[in-house]
Amino acid sequence: MNPNDDKYTRFALCREMMQAVEVFRRFHPGRTKDLAAAVAGVGRLMLTGEGSSRTFPAKNAVRKAMAWGLDLQVATDGSRQAATYDLSRFATFAASNSGRTNEVVLLMQALQAAGVRHRYGLTANAGTPLESYAAETFVLDCGAEEAFAATKTAVEQALFYQSIVSHAAGRDMAADLAGLDAKFAAVLSQPIPTDVVRAGARAGMIYFVGYNDGVAEELTLKAAEVTRTKAEFLEGSAVLHGAQEVMDSGDVVFIVEPVADDLPKLAAELVGGVGLTAVAIAAHPTELPTIQVPDAGEMNPYVLLAAGWNALVEIGLAAGIDLDKPIRAKKVGSEFVGADEPDHQAEARADARGRRSP
């Protein structure tokens, strides 16, 4: 993406991807120091939400906590499944950019009714139903998004959660953040190989292979939102355990943060066997065509995400997609409606039915 080219900047999606650079510059890990101490005192942390508000932010935090060997237990599931758990001994964070996501608000409502003390909201908007039921709500500094697909908010949510586990681990997250803004900006604007864009634009299916830390999975959602192409996330080495049976030579596989020992087998099975296009997204050269990113240490997931965003925007534009106008999906998938509030989604459905009537 060229940040000075109207081809990109006319879309809110691209502008907000670029605004994520400022999120890194403005984020202060010290904001969550006292909160982290309270969470560590509880000993268990549930991170819930729907879509982009959970996938990368929560799973990145889970992987960090496990990799750093924390005593703090960090878990994540969607709000409906989390509602089936006994969360009385957890600190629960519920993220919703709108603050109106139905599943999220209902979970917080239930925890409030059960007298659960440590229940927190994370949102891009103030004065929402989520805030009514959370004991404490944190509002993102990046502001609300115009684009349908969430970008800068997912980045700030991930930083917020990572700062909590960083404090619990005794890490200096400010040191981890040093220089990340420049690296992220460089990755967003680096050219994507034309053959990769061409293959992605004509693909029947785009696969993302990678760790269960939210990066590849979030890019899978973004593929659907940005390129309108069917996409699937294959965790770890699942691509070598049966999925190749239904792959087609016209498909594209992005392998995020590939394991070096797996690459020869992946190349043989996917490129040699299936005949599809396989592309690595990595901080080092590989034997596959590679979208290479600068090494950002503990913050590598963010630059890997930026590389995927960049590739998907180019693919979407090559396919003639209006990046800001989905056909079926909504910004708020399922909106909470209080007893005294208008049901805007119901109104929109009725309006759509009226437009289709003879």
- Residue-wise pLDDT for 255-299, tens only, equals 999 999 999 999 999 989 999 999 999 999 999 999 999 999 999
CA distance linking residue 128 with residue 98, whole number of Å? 8
Q: For residues 120 and 133, is the Cβ–Cβ distance under 8 A?
A: no
Whether 343 maps to a domain, the answer reads: no
Residue range 61-66: average pLDDT?
Answer: 98
* pLDDT recorded at residue 341: 56
* pLDDT recorded at residue 261: 92
Helix runs in 170-222, H state only: 173-177, 180-189, 194-202, 215-222
CA distance linking residue 126 with residue 139, whole number of Å? 7
CA distance linking residue 143 with residue 297, whole number of Å? 27
Q: For residues 174 and 318, is the Cβ–Cβ distance under 8 A?
A: no
Whether 299 maps to a domain, the answer reads: yes
pLDDT at 172 > cutoff 50: yes
> Which pair of tokens denotes residue 30?
């010290």
* pLDDT recorded at residue 330: 54
pLDDT at 224 > cutoff 60: yes
Whether 241 maps to a domain, the answer reads: yes
Q: For residues 9 and 3, is the Cβ–Cβ distance under 8 A?
A: yes
Which range has the worst mean pLDDT, 34-48, 263-277, 320-334? Answer: 320-334
Label residue 128 by pLDDT band (50, 70, 90).
very high
Average pLDDT score over the chain? 92
pLDDT at 55 > cutoff 80: yes
272, 134: one domain = no
29, 168: one domain = yes
Name the pairing type of β-strands 290-292 and 252-256: unpaired
152, 192: one domain = no
Identify the three-state secondary structure at position 267: helix
Whether 100 maps to a domain, the answer reads: yes
Segments of the chain assigned E as strands: 44-49, 73-76, 91-95, 119-123, 136-139, 205-210, 230-235, 252-256, 277-282, 290-292
Q: Which domain holds residue 64?
A: 6-177
pLDDT > 90: percent of the chain: 85
**Higher local confidence (pLDDT), 240 or 121:** 121
pLDDT in tens, 96-114: 999 999 999 999 999 999 9
pLDDT at 160 > cutoff 80: yes
Domain of 251, CATH number, reads 3.40.50.10490
77, 171: one domain = yes
* pLDDT recorded at residue 353: 41
Residue type, 81: Q
> Which pair of tokens denotes residue 308?
């995927």
Which range has the worst mean pLDDT, 83-92, 107-116, 340-349? Answer: 340-349
* pLDDT recorded at residue 339: 53
Looking at residue 296, what DSSP letter applies? -
Label residue 2 by pLDDT band (50, 70, 90).
very high
**Higher local confidence (pLDDT), 148 or 249:** 249
